[in-house]
């Protein structure tokens, strides 16, 4: 059966990027539709009453919440798999997906990306320097934690690439677009990101352009 997929998204949203990566890894072609979620369009709110992106329209079905979307994709398109089969290993993937989408989001992404980009795009004024300082300090702890994980494993959640790697790479790539990741802090994290970044599934994300924000040269460079 032919698959039809449309993703309502914004380019630098890590939640949208995680879904884009899952779709691309599973070779599901998807039409991207930019959604100005802050304008709270009624059609958009009908699709997702939470008023958040991503929203995926897949074969006529409307799906919301990035974790729920990715698990659904995994269930109906199990190959290539982004979840291990062992329950404890699945738990580790989910723990790390939440680590990035909850803790990292709260402590880093919202303090840097939202301050520097979302505020400007949505007309909410200038970055709060206190938040930016807090984000720049917190990202160091997170990079060190990733480095520690990668000392023991080939990928973040174990010896295979999983959804946890996509969740982390989605946040870090959005922050890299605004030059907020110090890749010199850990060779292990840099090598891991080089591996994820060089996957065909990542290509589309490296081509994103956000008007008013120019990415650094290394952003799309596989040999950064
Ligand atoms: N838990 C949601 C979070 C999605 C989210 O916060 N998306 C942001 C853009 S990065 C958004 O749409 N925010 C609008 C709002 O919170 O009203 C998910 O994983 O899908």
CATH number at residue 141: 1.20.1050.10
According to DSSP, the residues that pair with 61 across neighbouring strands are 58
Pocket of ligand 1 (CB under 6 A): 13, 15, 37, 51-54, 65-67, 101
Q: What's the CA gap between 73 and 186, in Å, rounded?
A: 32
In a domain, 38, yes or no: no
What number is the average pLDDT over the span 180-202?
98
In a domain, 114, yes or no: yes
Give 1's pLDDT tier (boundaries 50, 70, 90). confident
pLDDT of 100 higher than 80: yes
In a domain, 167, yes or no: yes
What number is the average pLDDT over the span 191-219?
97
Q: What's the CA gap between 56 and 5, in Å, rounded?
A: 7
In a domain, 197, yes or no: yes
Q: What is the pLDDT of residues 11-67, one digit of tens each?
A: 999 999 999 999 999 999 999 999 999 999 999 999 999 999 999 999 999 999 999
Q: What's the CA gap between 89 and 163, in Å, rounded?
A: 12
Centre of ligand 1 to C-alpha 89, Å, is 27
Whose CA is closest to atom 10 on ligand 1? 13
Mutation choice for ligand 1 from 7, 9, 15, CB with most ligand atoms inside 8 A: 15
Centre of ligand 1 to C-alpha 90, Å, is 24
In a domain, 55, yes or no: no
Q: What's the CA gap between 110 and 65, in Å, rounded?
A: 17
Q: What's the CA gap between 200 and 43, in Å, rounded?
A: 33
Q: What is the pLDDT of residue 178?
A: 98
In a domain, 102, yes or no: yes
Half-sphere exposure of residue 57: CA atoms within 13 angstroms, side-chain side: 13
In a domain, 99, yes or no: yes
In a domain, 124, yes or no: yes
- Provide the domain limits for residue 185: 87-202
Structural domain count of the chain: 1
Ligand 1 atom having least distance to the Cα of 105: 6
Mean pLDDT of the chain: 97
Short-list 222, 154, 169, 150, CA closest to 24: 169
């Amino acid at each position: 059966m032919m698959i039809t997929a449309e993703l309502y998204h914004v380019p630098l949203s890590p939640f949208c990027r995680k879904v884009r990566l899952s779709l691309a890894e599973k070779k599901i072609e998807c039409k991207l539709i930019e959604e100005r979620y802050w304008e709270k369009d009624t059609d958009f709110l009908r699709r997702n009453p939470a008023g958040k992106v991503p929203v995926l329209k897949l074969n006529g079905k409307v799906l919301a919440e990035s974790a729920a979307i990715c698990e659904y994709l995994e269930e109906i398109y199990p190959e290539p798999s982004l979840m291990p089969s062992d329950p404890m290993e699945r738990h580790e993937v989910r723990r790390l997906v939440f680590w990035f989408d909850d803790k990292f989001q709260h402590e880093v992404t919202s303090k840097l990306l939202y301050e520097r980009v979302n505020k400007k795009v949505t007309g909410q004024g200038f970055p709060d320097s206190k938040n930016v300082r807090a984000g720049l300090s917190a990202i160091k702890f997170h990079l060190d934690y990733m480095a520690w994980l990668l000392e023991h494993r080939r990928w973040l959640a174990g010896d295979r690439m999983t959804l946890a790697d996509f969740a982390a790479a989605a946040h870090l790539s959005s922050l890299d677009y605004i030059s907020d990741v110090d890749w010199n802090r850990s060779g292990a994290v840099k090598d891991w990101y080089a591996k994820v970044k060089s996957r065909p599934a990542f290509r589309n994300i490296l081509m994103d352009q956000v008007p008013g924000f120019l990415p650094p040269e290394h952003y799309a460079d596989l040999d950064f």
